[in-house]
Amino acid sequence: MRQVDRGSAPLAGICDVVLVGTGVAPLVAATHLMSQGKSVLLLNPDWDFFLEDSELPLDPLWPVSPDKDAASLNVKRTPNRLKRSSPERVLEELRPEFPGAVELWSGAGSPDRDRPAKARYDYRDLEAPHVRSRSRLWITSSERDRDWPWELIEELYVEAEDAGLNPQILEGIQAASKFPGMARIEFLDCRGLLMPKTCDVDVVRYRNGLLEFVRERLGPAHVVSAAAQIELMPGGVRFHAGKTPRTACAREGVLVFWTPRLSPWILAQAKRAEIEPVTPVGVRSWEEWSLFSRESLDPNVIGVFRDMAVWAEVEGLPTSGNRPLDRLTVLRAGGLVPLDQINSPAGGQSWASTESFGAVSELCHGFLHWDRFSVRSMKPRAILEWEKRDPWRLSRNDDQSVWVIPACDGPLVEVVRNARAACARLTDGTGPGLRSSGGKL
């Protein structure tokens, strides 16, 4: 391998792999590579590792547009996504890379009582990240949901039944009474589809625990936040840590984890290398509203009303402590805009707009029958949507092995799965890999 041209920059070190990215994905990759005996340098352009906040606690699953064709296509994909959101699959994905316990809450009562012996666990840590197993309830009213027709939910019922997911159709009071936050049960004309046991995750606990572990193992010299002027070069990278220029040699290559924060840098690098990038379909805006509920909330169900997922906001076990559950989370889907418009006014015009407040107001006043509601907070997010998820090479030069990993934001479980799969291909020789694997990414 050709030596790095250090120029006037001091050598930051020699490692096997350089990871460039923000959020959970590069941390998962670092943990996986370290378990394989690899040395790692992690570069994050943000001063706060999770400033972008691009991980979701669950897979929203439902069509984000009333457009019938787009919604019908998403319905056909939903059963497979539901299977990937089962408690067993989620724990299988999250536990290997986390340096401690990942706990399970399987519903009201004993977390273990109704689970088969082979799926039970022997440890209990109330401060650990928790996976909560809840039912998912899609609900519609013929009076209020002309743009969100019952035919879509019936189609989802058929797809889910064919996949063996045991869906249930609920009518009237039976459906409305299960929806979190419902104040008065008056919707005799509403119908619902109940799917047993999909999961949501304590995102903050998971990613903070992972970051603490990676920083402790690698040390501050190998976990660099606020890395500036990152430049790819033969055999490694050059960057600035604070005001100090550094150069790092990467024996096996560089992995870049694509989230919206890195989009301008990746596109600029592709243009410089005269490579056509594999781009996402667009950028989806999301809003996560936190509301005060005057009703005590049922933690066992995640409700879906139109383009909004609604659930009792919980960290850890819902049954721990004596405080009633009174915070309602509403995850609302916004528009999809082209990648080149993410920083334009069109890219953020749907966040906290009149339409957004109107939708939340219709949920609270029109559907849940609250006389008023109070907003605690609203977190806006921009998340990339992909059709092609295969890693692609960002370098033409044989002395550079730089790969871009797509789908590194969105539902936490998918982020962890994609990051680990990309690294596994590098180390086990079963797929794309860096130079030392003898393959190609």
pLDDT: which is higher, 41 or 152 = 41
Q: Is the Cβ–Cβ distance between 30 and 214 less than 8 Å?
A: yes
pLDDT at residue 145, as a whole number: 63
Residue 346 has pLDDT above 60, yes or no: no
According to the model, what pLDDT value does residue 204 have? 95
Q: Specify the higher pLDDT residue, 39 or 322.
A: 39
Rounded Cα–Cα distance for residues 316 and 427 (Å): 34
User: Quick one: pLDDT band at residue 186, thresholds 50, 70, 90?
Assistant: low
β-bridge partners, 200: 132
| Residue 309 pLDDT greater than 70, yes or no | yes
CATH class of the region 11-54+205-279+387-437: alpha beta
Q: Is 60 exceeded by the pLDDT of residue 434?
A: no
The CATH code for residues 70-200+281-385 is: 3.30.9.10
Give the residue, 112 or 65, on which the prediction is more confident. Answer: 65
Express each pLDDT in 322-335 by its tens digit. 567 889 999 998 88
**1, pLDDT greater than 50:** no
The Cα–Cα gap between 14 and 42 comes to 12
Average pLDDT, the chain: 83
How confident is residue 432, by pLDDT bands cut at 50, 70 and 90? very low
pLDDT digits (tens, 9 = 90+) for 55-102: 999 998 875 555 666 667 778 888 888 999 999 999 999 999 999 999
Give residue 146's pLDDT: 61
Whether this prediction's pTM lies above 0.85 is answered by yes
The rounded distance, in Å, linking the Cα atoms of 64 and 167 is: 21
For the chain, the structural domain boundaries read 11-54+205-279+387-437, 70-200+281-385
What is the percent of the chain with per-residue pLDDT over 70, rounded to a whole number? Answer: 81
Whether the pLDDT of residue 261 is over 50: the answer is yes
